């Protein structure tokens, strides 16, 4: 009987607290309620509860999606991918802009065995959440600074930059089949022993390969037989789709990375390692690739859908992308 009374008191108090909370909640405006959802989502993230955070964010409607909402939502997707800020700053401390692509492939987070794993797909969702936080067509750093304010725009853009670098590291590790030193084709992946990431059986790409000055990289003499099998499927109907989605996403993210680096302020803080020299390295790579072609459209690829539409439109466009990729990546990813 004594236990029953204690349980009744507890039950009464519990419902009293819930009733008070509900009563208080009823007095909040829609905006306040939805801001509370974002706050609760962030609290879930501190406990590593990624799915619960996203469920809370699903309660937020368009009028109340502010800077903090997109920051937390991107973090929630990144949480599902296994991304870690701490790991990123540990890796970036040893980053070498002089061997840009190889250095990214050696990040501790780069080890990948499946191109469709959640560490790939969820990280892409996290990145896109920020890139397209203003709109699909207003997706540059200046757009985010104009929309959210200069400081917040730079802050959220740097958040996406760190995740882009990690994503590219995963991409290069898997499709480059690297070893522990980030050397292309030297690992035991599906592309082991291959000196090219892509297959290049076309004139535009071969022109790009002929311009490469090193014999240690992918050259026109082996370009038609090399390439990672998950980017070069025998069935043309499937191969085009995989090439368009996976290779174009890489180029889209490189373009966004160049845009962000060229727009935000990177300090010379030691915690950023050699990242302060990333702008110069990227601009050199970009101008080198662009100098091989008269393809201004490629530098405008900031939307994934635009890139896919371009590549799928004709075989010639596919060749252009492959040629640009060869000049940008193959000559600098050894």
pLDDT in tens, 71-99: 999 999 999 999 999 999 888 888 888 88
Task: State the average pLDDT for the chain.
Answer: 82
The pLDDT of 51-59, averaged and rounded, is 94
CA atoms of 207 and 163, how far apart (whole Å): 33
Of the listed ranges 110-119, 224-233, 281-290, the least confidently predicted one is 281-290
**Listed residue (145, 158, 189, 38) closest to 89, CA to CA:** 158
pLDDT band for position 253 (50/70/90)? very high
pLDDT of residue 235: 57
**Tens of pLDDT, residues 259-279:** 898 888 776 555 566 676 777
Q: Which two tokens stand for residue 122?
A: 């969820």
Given a contact cutoff of 8 angstroms between Cβ atoms, the answer to whether 334 and 96 are in contact is no
The pLDDT of 36-53, averaged and rounded, is 93
Count CB atoms within 10 A of the CB of residue 245.
Answer: 17
Query: What's the alpha-carbon Rg for the chain, to the nearest Å?
Result: 24
167 has pLDDT over 90? yes
DSSP reduced 3-state for 101: helix
**Tens of pLDDT, residues 130-159:** 999 999 889 999 999 999 999 999 999 999
CA angle 48, 261, 263 (to 5 degrees): 110
Contacts of 317 (CB under 8 A, 6+ apart): 310, 311
49 has pLDDT over 80? yes
In the chain, count of helices (H) and strands (E)? 15, 0
CA atoms of 48 and 42, how far apart (whole Å): 10
pLDDT band for position 18 (50/70/90)? very low
Q: Which pairs count as long-range contacts for 267-270, CB under 8 Å and 24+ apart, including other chains?
A: 270/93
Contacts of 139 (CB under 8 A, 6+ apart): 131, 132, 256, 302, 303
Its pTM surpasses 0.95: no
233 has pLDDT over 80? no
Count CB atoms within 10 A of the CB of residue 64.
Answer: 17
Contacts of 180 (CB under 8 A, 6+ apart): 106
């Amino acid at each position: 009987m004594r236990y029953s009374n204690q349980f009744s008191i507890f039950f009464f108090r519990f419902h009293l607290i819930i009733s008070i909370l509900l009563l208080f909640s009823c007095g909040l405006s829609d905006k306040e309620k939805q801001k509370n959802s974002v706050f609760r989502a962030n609290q879930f993230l501190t406990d590593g509860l990624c799915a619960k955070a996203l469920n809370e964010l699903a309660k937020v409607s368009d009028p109340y999606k502010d800077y903090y909402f997109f920051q937390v939502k991107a973090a929630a997707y990144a949480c599902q991918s296994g991304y870690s800020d701490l790991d990123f700053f540990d890796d970036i401390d040893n980053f070498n802009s002089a061997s840009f692509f190889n250095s990214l492939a050696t990040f501790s987070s780069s080890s990948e065995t499946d191109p469709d794993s959640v560490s790939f797909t969820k990280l892409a969702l996290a990145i896109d959440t920020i890139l397209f936080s203003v709109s699909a067509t207003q997706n540059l750093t200046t757009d985010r600074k104009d929309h959210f304010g200069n400081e917040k725009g730079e802050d959220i853009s740097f958040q996406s930059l760190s995740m882009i670098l990690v994503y590219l590291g995963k991409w290069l590790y898997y499709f480059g089949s690297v070893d522990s030193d980030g050397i292309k084709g030297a690992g035991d992946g599906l592309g082991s022993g291959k000196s090219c990431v892509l297959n290049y059986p076309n004139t535009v790409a071969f022109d790009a390969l002929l311009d490469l000055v090193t014999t240690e990289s992918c050259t026109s003499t082996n370009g038609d037989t090399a390439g990672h099998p998950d980017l070069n499927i025998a069935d043309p109907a499937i191969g085009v789709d995989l090439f368009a989605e996976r290779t174009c996403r890489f180029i889209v993210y490189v373009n966004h990375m160049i845009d962000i680096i060229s727009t935000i302020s990177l300090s010379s803080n030691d915690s950023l390692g050699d990242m302060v020299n990333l702008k110069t390295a990227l601009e050199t790579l970009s101008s080198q690739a662009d100098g091989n072609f008269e393809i201004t459209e490629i530098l405008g690829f900031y939307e994934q859908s635009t890139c896919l539409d371009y590549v799928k439109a004709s075989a010639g466009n596919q060749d252009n992308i492959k040629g640009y990729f060869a000049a940008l990546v193959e000559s600098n990813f050894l």
